Chains A and B, each alone.
Chain A
Amino acid sequence: MLRALSVLGARPRCRAPCQLPALLLLPARGRKTRHDPPAKSKVGRVATPPAVDPAEFFVLTERYRQYRQTVRALRLEFVSEVRRKQHEARAGVLAERKALEEAAEHRELMAWNRAENQRLQELRIARLRQEAREQEQRRAEEKARQAREAQAWAQLKEQEVLQLQEEAKTFITRENLEARVQEALDSPKSYNWAITREGLVVRPKHKGS
């Protein structure tokens, strides 16, 4: 018997593939399973149920009937209470009042939202107008500045042209070529001088060229 019991611990658990009941069937030698055919000695055997005591039977049925009646009444009572509560929550007086209040609040909030949007829209419009004005101003300033610069540039160029015209009077042409050549030969120039930081010109004291 112990050896039979020890097999319990050694067996690996495999619940999913095979369908064992919660309690493991103790395999004992010689016992029949339901799939085995009955024995020859049991041919013609009629199973007789045990005899019924009428008084006990009556008492039993009465008690069952009362029990079930009570339980059913309680159950119906509870179920009806729950359904009533649900109905009141869905369509009762309080619920309607609350729905009305919520609708009113919603309307109020929507109105506030619209007002807020309106206000922000006005602010936005004002801001955009301001920005447009500023941009216009900046553009105008930029144009003015460019115009001033162009004018200054034109004036500078004019000055340069006038100066060049003035200098052109001293240029050498074929007419005054001879005179200029003689004049140049008469007056030798020397660039061999230096200047101090204070602005004094320093020339070399020539001993010879």
Chain B
Amino acid sequence: MPRYELALILKAMQRPETAAALKRTIEALLDRGAIVRDLENLGERALPYRISAHSRQHSRGGYFLVDFYAPPTAVESIMEYLSRDIDVIRPNVVKHPLTQEVKECGGIVPVPLEEKLYSMKKRK
């Protein structure tokens, strides 16, 4: 099963409610046949911009990372469930970055800045 990472932004709530929301989320994952590996808390912090979700505006949120193994067919249903959950501001499921192969960095590619300054089309 491929390994996914759920980057979850929860509403800024009290601790028991956050715990309940997390528990709900992980149970939903387990119900859809996922195997949850780890749960990380990145702290409650100010969002980079005001986000509107479920007819409310948020400026603070709790960031959580869930990495799990899941069948690819379950991702859609997970996303659908999370989009319906009112405590979730923004759900994002991506392939786990640790499973991507490390590519050799090619260095800085020289960009012709002149082209970016003005158009190089031939003018009469």
Contact = CB atoms under 8 A, between A and B. Distances in A.
Given A174-B27, A174-B30, A177-B26, A185 B42 contact: no
B45 to A, nearest CB: 5
Contacts of B44: 188
B39 interface: yes
B6 interface: no
Interface residues of B, number: 21
Given A172-B26, A184-B64, A209 B40 contact: no
Contacts of A209: 43, 45-46
Contacts of B46: 209
Nearest to A180: B39
B64 A177 contact: no
Contact of A191 (B38, B42, B45, B64): B42
A181 interface: yes
Nearest to A167: B37
A171 B35 CA distance: 8
A178 B43 contact: no
Given A170-B38, A174-B30, A184 B22 contact: yes
A181 to B, nearest CB: 5
A186 to B, nearest CB: 8
A188 B26 contact: no
B41 A184 contact: yes
A35 B35 CA distance: 135
B54 interface: no
A76 to B, nearest CB: 108
A190 B19 contact: no
A189 interface: yes
A165 interface: no
Interface in B15-38: 15, 18-19, 22-23, 26-27, 30, 35-38
A182 interface: yes
B30 A188 contact: no
A6 interface: no
Given A171-B35, A184-B22, A185-B18, A177 B27 contact: yes
Interface of A: 167, 170-174, 177-178, 180-182, 184-185, 187-191, 209
15 contacts: A170-B37, A171-B36, A171-B38, A172-B37, A177-B26, A178-B23, A181-B39, A182-B19, A184-B22, A184-B39, A184-B40, A184-B64, A185-B15, A188-B43, A190-B43
The 3 closest A-B pairs by CB, nearest first: A188-B43, A172-B36, A209-B45
Given A171-B36, A188-B41, A189-B43, 20 more contacts: A170-B38, A172-B26, A172-B36, A177-B23, A177-B27, A178-B19, A181-B19, A181-B22, A181-B23, A181-B39, A184-B22, A184-B39, A184-B41, A185-B19, A185-B41, A187-B41, A189-B40, A189-B42, A209-B45, A209-B46
